[in-house]
C-alpha cells in the first residue's frame, strides 16, 4: 500500500505537496475506509484549477519508471516542470508499506523521460542510489533485492535503475521488489470528464462484452445503477454484432448513450479489472452522475479489500459520515492538501453535518 507521497517542482506544484495515508484518526465508524492503519479510501475536494488532475498525474509518474509507460493524459514535456521552480527538476518521494517494511523510492526528473537521480531504501537501509547526470552510483546493497550480479555499465538516463532491475532479474511475487512491481503495475488513473477518451473506452468495453457473451451481466449492472433498459445483441449485414437498447425498433447502444451511461460503461470496465487493481485514482469520476449513483459507486469501491482509492469530486453530497469518515475527506488548495480533520480546530464527530460545515467555510 502507498503510505506517503510527496511532490515538488512538477506542473503547478512548486513547493512540496504531501498526502500522508498514515494520518489515521481513532473514529469507530466506517472502519472499512482504513486498512493496515492506512487510509484506504479518500475523496478530494477543491475549487477548479487547484491541481486535482495534476496531483493524480504526479502520483502515477512512477509507472513510467517501472514500465516505460507514459502517464495517462500526459500532454507534453514542455509543461512537465513547474514554471517557477528554481531547482530545474521535479522530485517525487514515495513510501510504500510492504510486509510491514517501509519501501522508499525517491527520484528527480528534468522531464517525463529524463531522470536525474534515483534512490531506493528498505527501512533505513539504502539499496541503491544513482546520480544519472554524473554517473555516480552506490549499488552495494543490491543483494537485498537479489540484483547483485547485474552489469551496471549502462548510461542511458531515459531508463530508470528500477526498470533496469525489474527487466533484468527474475522477480519473485513473494519478494519485496516483486510485490512493489505488482502494486505499480496495478495502479490506474481514470478521468471521468474526458469525453473523447470515455467514448473510446465505451466502444472497446462494448466489444469485449459482445465477444465474451456478457450482455446479460452488463444489463444487470446498468439496471442496478438506475438505467432501466433491456439490451439485445443484433447481427448486422456484415456478420458483425452490435449492442442495442431493446425496443420495437432496436436502438444502437454506443451511438445513443447519454454521458452518464458512458460513465457507467467505464465503471463496468473498471470492475472487470478489479482483481488486478491495487490503486485507483478517479478524477472527476462522477461528473455525469446523479448524486445517488455517486454514493453507490463510492460505497462499492469501499468494499474492495485489495485496492486503495482516491476520488476527486465536486459533489458535496458525498461529504458525509454516513459514507466515509472525516480523516478520509481532503480539501485541496493551490498551497496544500489537508484532511478536513486538520483544516479546522473543531473536533469532528459522527453526528456532524460535514457538508454543511464545508459550505459554510469551516475548512477554509
Please list the residues that pair with 101 across neighbouring strands. 98
Q: How far apart are CA 270 and CA 186, in angstroms?
A: 12
Nearest Cα residue to 208 out of 270, 298, 155: 270
- pTM for this entry: 0.88
Q: What residues does each domain of the chain span?
A: 2-186+276-359, 195-267
Report pLDDT for 300: 82
Q: Which CATH number fits domain 2-186+276-359: 3.40.50.300, 3.20.20.140, 3.40.50.150, 3.30.413.10?
A: 3.40.50.300
Q: How far apart are CA 176 and CA 156, in angstroms?
A: 26
Q: How far is CA 240 from the centre of its chain?
A: 35
Q: What is the pLDDT of residues 26-49, one digit of tens each?
A: 999 999 999 999 999 999 999 999
Q: What is the pLDDT of residues 196-242, one digit of tens each?
A: 556 788 889 999 999 999 999 999 999 988 899 999 999 987 778 99
Backbone angles phi, psi at 106, to 5 degrees: -125, 135
Report pLDDT for 194: 54
Runs of H (alpha helix) within the chain: 52-60, 62-67, 161-168, 176-185, 195-211, 215-224, 259-272, 291-302, 354-359
Residue 205 to residues 1, 199, 212, 215, 257, Cα–Cα distance (Å): 28, 10, 11, 11, 13
Q: How confident is the model at residue 133 (pLDDT cuts 50, 70, 90)?
A: confident
Amino acid at each position: 500500500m502507498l503510505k506517503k507521497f510527496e511532490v515538488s517542482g512538477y506542473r503547478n506544484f512548486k513547493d512540496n505537496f504531501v498526502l500522508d495515508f498514515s494520518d489515521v484518526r481513532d473514529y469507530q465508524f466506517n472502519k472499512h475506509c482504513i486498512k493496515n492503519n492506512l487510509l484506504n479510501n479518500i475523496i478530494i475536494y477543491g475549487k477548479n484549477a487547484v491541481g486535482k488532475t495534476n496531483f493524480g498525474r504526479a502520483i502515477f509518474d512512477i509507472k513510467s519508471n517501472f514500465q516505460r509507460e507514459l502517464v495517462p493524459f500526459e500532454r507534453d514535456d514542455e509543461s512537465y516542470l513547474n514554471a517557477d521552480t528554481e531547482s530545474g527538476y521535479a522530485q517525487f518521494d514515495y513510501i510504500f508499506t510492504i510486509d510491514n517494511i517501509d519501501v522508499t523510492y525517491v527520484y528527480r526528473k528534468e522531464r517525463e523521460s529524463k531522470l536525474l537521480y534515483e534512490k531506493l531504501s528498505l527501512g533505513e537501509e539504502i539499496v541503491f542510489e544513482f546520480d544519472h547526470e554524473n554517473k555516480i552510483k552506490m549499488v552495494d546493497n543490491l543483494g537485498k533485492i537479489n540484483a547483485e550480479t547485474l552489469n551496471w555499465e549502462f548510461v542511458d538516463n531515459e531508463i530508470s535503475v528500477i526498470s533496469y532491475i525489474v527487466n533484468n532479474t527474475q522477480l519473485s511475487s513473494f519478494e519485496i521488489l516483486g510485490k512493489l512491481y505488482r502494486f505499480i503495475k496495478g495502479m490506474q488513473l481514470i478521468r471521468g470528464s474526458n469525453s473523447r477518451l470515455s467514448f473510446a473506452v465505451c466502444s472497446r468495453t462494448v466489444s469485449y462484452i459482445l465477444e465474451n457473451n456478457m450482455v446479460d451481466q452488463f444489463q444487470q449492472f446498468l439496471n442496478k445503477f438506475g438505467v432501466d433498459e433491456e439490451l439485445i445483441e443484433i447481427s448486422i449485414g456484415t456478420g458483425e454484432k452490435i449492442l442495442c437498447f431493446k425496443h420495437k425498433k432496436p436502438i444502437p447502444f454506443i451511438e445513443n448513450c447519454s454521458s452518464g451511461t458512458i460513465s457507467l460503461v467505464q465503471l463496468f470496465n473498471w470492475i472487470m479489472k478489479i482483481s488486478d487493481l491495487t490503486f485507483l485514482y478517479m478524477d472527476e469520476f462522477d461528473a455525469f452522475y446523479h448524486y445517488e449513483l455517486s454514493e453507490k459507486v463510492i460505497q462499492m469501491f469501499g468494499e474492495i479489500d485489495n485496492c486503495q482509492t482516491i476520488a476527486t469530486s465536486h459533489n458535496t453530497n458525498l461529504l458525509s459520515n454516513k459514507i466515509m469518515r472525516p480523516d478520509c475527506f481532503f480539501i485541496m488548495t493551490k498551497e496544500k492538501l489537508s484532511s478536513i480533520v486538520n483544516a479546522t480546530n473543531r473536533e469532528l464527530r459522527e453526528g456532524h453535518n460535514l457538508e454543511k460545515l464545508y459550505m459554510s467555510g469551516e475548512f477554509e
